């Protein structure tokens, strides 16, 4: 089952930079597809096409069978959690308030939000009693990333888009986060697109790996084992 389909997708930015060229790619339900390749090869652009932070110049992109060009961006983004490097938590809101952002917008009841926040913090390994009332500056880098993951999962989106989610975390912390994220994923079955420049991370987490090369070309689709064997 295909959740996201790129058909001859192309992105040329206003200054003439061609970021993505002739991309044909299917993302399957419940898989983690890792996008790897050198800096500037179009990985982030590819990801951001899916939630319409970037509009295609030509070609088509289907999410759950519907052309994103016809989708309401707000509705689309509720179905696709988005996690970036350095997360972008709201600095003047507590962990609980950050995680509750979208449920509040949706008008969930206080009790439903509270219990969802507790579940999510437990899911990402942050004891609610300790962390719910902290502010982002009172957290380590790794803890902030975990809050970002919890926030992205708040309304149980079928798709998670992650752009270098562990990039700002030290190597030891990154290993821990990767392992923990792997467990979360197997529990939830969320479809994930993960952008990373770290081949090791792609191999560790990916079910399939899309290797991009300069000029925004998809060079190959590989399974992790065959990529390691190269
Ligand atoms: P990656 O995620 O692989 O590092 P990006 O998708 O961020 O690659 O960028 C692909 C290319 O598009 C790069 O050459 C980058 O400089 C360029 N680019 C990205 N965003 C913009 C933008 N908003 N305007 C112009 N060029 C951009
Ligand atoms: P890391 O090495 O992962 O970046 P830190 O040294 O920043 O971790 O933090 C270590 C621990 O101290 C973490 O559990 C974090 O929550 C806690 N901590 C860091 N800063 C504060 C603070 N200002 N107030 C309360 N706890 C803090």
Picking from 162, 181, 193, the residue whose alpha carbon sits closest to that of residue 2 is 193
Among 73-77, 113-117, 208-212, which stretch is predicted with the lowest mean pLDDT?
Answer: 73-77
Nearest CA to ligand 1 atom 17: 19
pLDDT, one tens digit per residue, over 104-159 is 988 999 999 999 999 999 988 899 999 999 999 999 888 998 899 899 899 889 99
224: pLDDT confidence band, cut at 50, 70 and 90? confident
Tokens of 229: 């064997």
pLDDT at 94: 97
> CA separation (Å) from 182 to 81, 131, 136, 226?
16, 22, 24, 20
pLDDT at 227: 76
CB of residue 120 inside a 6 A radius of ligand 2: no
CB of residue 19 inside a 6 A radius of ligand 1: yes
Cβ contacts of residue 81 below 8 Å, gap of 6+?
A: 151, 152, 153, 154, 157, 159, 160, 161, 190
pLDDT at 19: 97
pLDDT at 226: 81
Ligand 2: atom nearest CA of 139 is 16
Give residue 150 CA to ligand 2 midpoint distance, Å. Answer: 18
Inform me whether the pLDDT recorded for 192 exceeds 80: yes
**ipTM of model:** 0.72
What span, in angstroms and rounded, lies between the C-alpha atoms of 64 and 120? Answer: 25
Tell whether pTM > 0.90: no
> CA separation (Å) from 143 to 127, 153, 186?
11, 15, 20
Nearest CA to ligand 1 atom 11: 19
DSSP-based helix, strand, coil % in the chain, nearest 5: 40, 25, 35
């Amino acid at each position: 089952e295909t959740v996201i389909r790129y058909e001859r997708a192309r992105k040329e930015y206003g200054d003439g930079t061609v970021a993505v060229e002739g991309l044909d790619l299917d993302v399957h339900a419940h898989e983690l597809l890792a996008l790897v390749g050198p800096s500037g090869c179009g990985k982030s652009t590819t990801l951001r096409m899916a939630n319409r932070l970037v509009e295609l110049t030509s070609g088509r992109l289907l999410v759950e069978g519907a052309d994103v060009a016809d989708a309401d961006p707000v509705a689309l983004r509720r179905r696709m959690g988005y996690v970036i490097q350095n997360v972008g938590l709201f600095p003047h809101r507590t962990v609980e308030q950050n995680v509750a952002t979208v449920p509040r917008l949706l008008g969930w009841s206080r009790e439903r939000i509270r219990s969802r926040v507790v579940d999510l913090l437990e899911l990402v390994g942050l004891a609610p009693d300790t962390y719910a009332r902290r502010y982002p500056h009172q957290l380590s880098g790794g803890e902030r990333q975990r809050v970002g993951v919890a926030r992205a999962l708040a309304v149980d989106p079928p798709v998670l888009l992650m752009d270098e989610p562990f990039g700002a975390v030290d190597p030891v912390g990154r290993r821990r986060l990767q392992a923990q994220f792997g467990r979360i994923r197997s529990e939830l079955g969320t479809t994930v697109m993960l952008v990373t420049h770290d081949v090791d991370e792609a191999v560790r987490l990916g079910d399939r790996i899309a290797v991009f090369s300069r000029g925004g070309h998809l060079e190959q689709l590989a399974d992790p084992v065959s990529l390691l064997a190269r």
